[in-house]
Amino acid sequence: MFGDNFFQFNIMEVFASIAIVIGGFFAIKSWYRGRRKKQVRQRIRATLTNLSEEGRNILRKCFEKNSEAPEDETNLWATKVYNYLEANLGRDYAMRFESHEGLPIGLTTLSGMHSTVESYIKTRLARLNEFLSELV
């Protein structure tokens, strides 16, 4: 009915077919990994943007007349950011967040603790902006 050669395969055709299937699998796997990494970067960028906004809101409090410098709120925010960075980007990002190395020193019209808190927040916000640029 089928003939004598129906079930005879060329071994090279079999290997070529297997290679095509395996190649397709790895192409799909690579695409999925790239897509997953992009989604993770987008999620991290969104969180860093929110944390940056929180920092800016605290920074505004430094300029409120007749108010205490928001030291406690600043420390809570910085700890929250540090912990997030360490958990999601690694210890190196968390350590960079705490460092002012390589950033220009800014001038301020504030004095005392308000000036200290302002400088601390601005440094951390500058680092968050660096991280956002790196995660594009």
**35: in domain:** no
Q: Which one-letter amino acid corresponds to residue 124?
A: R
Of residues 107, 90, 101, the one with CA closest to residue 127: 101
Q: Is residue 104 part of a domain?
A: yes
Split into its structural domains, the chain has a count of: 1
CA 95 to chain centre: 14
pLDDT of the residue at 8: 56
What angle is formed at CA 77 by the lines to CA 72 and CA 78, rounded to 5 degrees?
100
Tens of pLDDT, residues 34-80 = 667 888 999 999 999 999 999 999 999 998 888 899 999 999 999 99
**Is 14 a domain residue?**
no
Give pTM, 2 decimals: 0.75
pLDDT digit string, tens, across residues 1-38: 555 555 555 676 766 677 676 766 666 656 656 667 88
- The phi and psi torsions of 40 (rounded to 5 degrees) equal -65, -45
Domain span including residue 53: 41-134
